[in-house]
Amino acid sequence: MPTTSNVVALNQTQFSAKLPPKKPKNGDVRPREHLTDHEVERLIKAAKKGRYGHRDAMLILMSYRHGLRVSEAVALRWDQVDLKQACLTVNRAKNGQNGIHPLTGRELRALRQLKRKADSNPYVFVSERGAPMTDRNVRTLVKKAGDRAGMEFPVHPHQLRHGCGYKLINNGVDVRTVQQYLGHASINSTVIYTKLDSRRFNGLWND
């Protein structure tokens, strides 16, 4: 006759077997949580080879250049894009600070091309059926672009936002400006990028 302890152990084993496997920690699957400028360009190049290449490549570029969260990218509307004044109104999620960002010539040319196919759809990034893209759509397309690009580690969309902060800090942009650009409510969320500033150690060794 099984003891109480054996029954408890058996129940725990059965319960554990029903649980999904634990999600691995980010540090176990990728070396860092940001992408470099070169890696983003690899992603963009790979994304262009997909079925909706121009849209996907543009979504990656805009997410990187403007530090967009996935929810901010899929919610982006054409009334936030001013092609004549070359600026973008960025509406931040998570109680972030909204802002107006300049658009570069590269972005303007790509946006105009995307706009010509938009008809009267109010959203910038849409699915085949004309509905706004979902968070899952974006995660899938970024993953596929990473696989197609032969990235050395799995990539996800939020690495584009972190890559933006990393790039700006390493370009010498002051922390307050980066905070405003990324829409961080607190500067504590921005100073993490200063730890990734490669210029900090310049000159420590001279030959």
Mind telling me the catalytic residues? Answer: 69, 94, 158, 161, 184, 193
Whether 161 contacts 69, CB under 8 Å: yes
Burial 57-95 (b: 16+ CB within 10 A, else e): bbbbbbbbbbbbbbebbbbbebebbeeeeeebebebeee
Of 47, 48, 19, 207, residue with least CA distance to 142: 47
Give the largest CA-CA distance in the chain: 82
Cβ burial, residue 145 (10 Å; 0-12/13-18/19+): buried
Question: Alpha-carbon dihedral of residues 55, 84, 123, 51, nearest 10 degrees?
Answer: -10
